[in-house]
Amino acid sequence: MGREMALTLAEASADVVLASRNIEGLNETASLIQRMGREAFVCPMDITKLDDIERAVGDAIAAFGRIDILINNSGIAGEASVGEITEEKWDQVMDVNLKGHVFCTKAVGRHMIANQYDKIINIGSIVGIIPMIYSSTYGVAKAGLILFTKTLALEWARYNIQANALCPGYFLTDLNRDFFQTPAGQKVINKIPVRRVADPREIRGVTLLLASDASSFMTGSVIVVDGGHILG
C-alpha cells in the first residue's frame, strides 16, 4: 500500500520522498516514479530511531526545500494473546506503529507550520476501531494513532494543517497472499460484506482525497476502507 500511495502522489504531479529500512523496495518504487517523470528521493530510515527521523527530514528538506504532505505508513504486526505478550514485542510494536509516527510528525511539523497549509495522513487500521482477538498490542497502537491524529488536528488547525487517519481493512499483499488461500483466510473473507479483500490499488482514491485540496475542510476525520468489515 505504501508503494501505491507513493505512485498516486507522483501521478498527481508530486515529487516524493521515500523513507524505509527496505532499501531494495525504496529503489524499486523510486524507479517507477522516475519513469513517470517525477523526482523520487530515497531516504533510508529506521523509524524507531529518533536521530534517523531527524536526519531523514533534514535530507528531504535539503532535497526539495519543503514537505507538503506527510504519510505515516510504517507498521508491524503484533499477534499474541494477552497472556503471551512480551515486553520486547510490546515496545517494538509501539515504537514502529505509534511512537515513530508521533516523532515523524513532530520533525516534519516544524516545517509544515511555516508553510501554513499542509496535509498529514496517518495510516491506522480497523483494528484500532474494533477489537480483534490476539491483536491487543497492534490494536492499542493503532487506536493511539487515531486519537493522536484527532489531537493533532485540534492543535494544528490554526496553522491550516489538516490531519486525518486512514484505516484500511484487509488488503491483499505479498505478506498475506498465501494466508488468504487457506481455510482460515477464507473464514476472514467470509466476514467481509463484499466477500473479498482489497486490491492495493483501491487505496489510491482516498489517498488522493486526503492529500489534495478536495479535503480542505476535513481534519481529524477517520476514514475506513474495509469493504464493510466493521459493520458486523
**pLDDT score of 44:** 94
pLDDT tens digits, 176-228 = 888 899 998 999 999 999 999 999 999 999 999 999 999 999 999 999 999 99
Average pLDDT of the chain is 95
13-58, pLDDT tens digit by residue? 999 999 999 999 999 999 999 999 999 999 999 999 999 999 999 9
- Using CA atoms, how far apart are residues 231 and 219, in angstroms rounded to an integer? 23
Residue 54 contacts residue 24 (beta carbons within 8 Å): no
Pairwise CA distance, residues 157 & 185, whole Å: 41
- pLDDT (tens digit per residue) in 92-144: 999 999 999 999 999 999 999 999 889 999 999 999 999 999 999 999 999 99
Residue 138: active-site member: yes
| pTM metric for this prediction | 0.95
**Per this entry, what is the length of the chain?**
232
* Per-domain boundaries in the chain: 2-231
pLDDT for residue 232? 75
User: 80 falls in which pLDDT band (50, 70, 90)?
Assistant: confident
Query: Which architecture does CATH list for 2-231?
Result: 3-Layer(aba) Sandwich (3.40)
Q: In the predicted model, what is the mean pLDDT of residues 161-169?
A: 98
**The pLDDT value given to residue 150:** 98
Given the residues 117, 134, 138, 170, the one annotated as active site = 138
Which pLDDT score is estimated for 204? 97
- Under a CB-based contact definition with an 8 Å cutoff, are residues 107 and 55 in contact? no
